[in-house]
Amino acid sequence: RWSVCLSVCLSVCAGVWGSYLSEKTMNALKGGVKCGSDAFMAVRIENIAFHVWRSHGHFVEANVLGMGALRKLGWSPLIDWKGESFVLDNAGLYGKGESGKASSSSE
């Protein structure tokens, strides 16, 4: 067996439990995926595996990291409302000399 390491841009959504990948991303990770409406696969971030489902509806092209994956990863979103940005904090380390895992800004 072999695995593919691929950088994927994910939107973080605190309003959904599940995580979703577009059909294009699923095929990039595992070629030849037959993507029906109930298609799902296991992915791994930082050696932690979780399931993702095929994106659907208005978000068919979106890659979304939901709360279930954030919980398994131990990441919490810390929002800077004034700065219009956020950081994903791992185990409360942000602000204690270690940076969060990912960040976003509207700039």
Note whether 55 and 84 are same-domain residues.
no
Task: Say what the pTM is.
Answer: 0.74
Question: Domain range for residue 42?
Answer: 1-73
* Average pLDDT for 46-65: 92
Beta strands in 1-107 (DSSP E): 11-12, 20-21, 40-45, 48-54, 64-65, 75-80, 85-90, 102-105
Note whether 82 and 69 are same-domain residues.
no
In this model, does residue 4 exceed pLDDT 70? no
Note whether 65 and 84 are same-domain residues.
no
pLDDT classification of 46: cutoffs 50, 70, 90: confident
In this model, does residue 106 exceed pLDDT 70? no
Q: Which two tokens stand for residue 23?
A: 């059909």
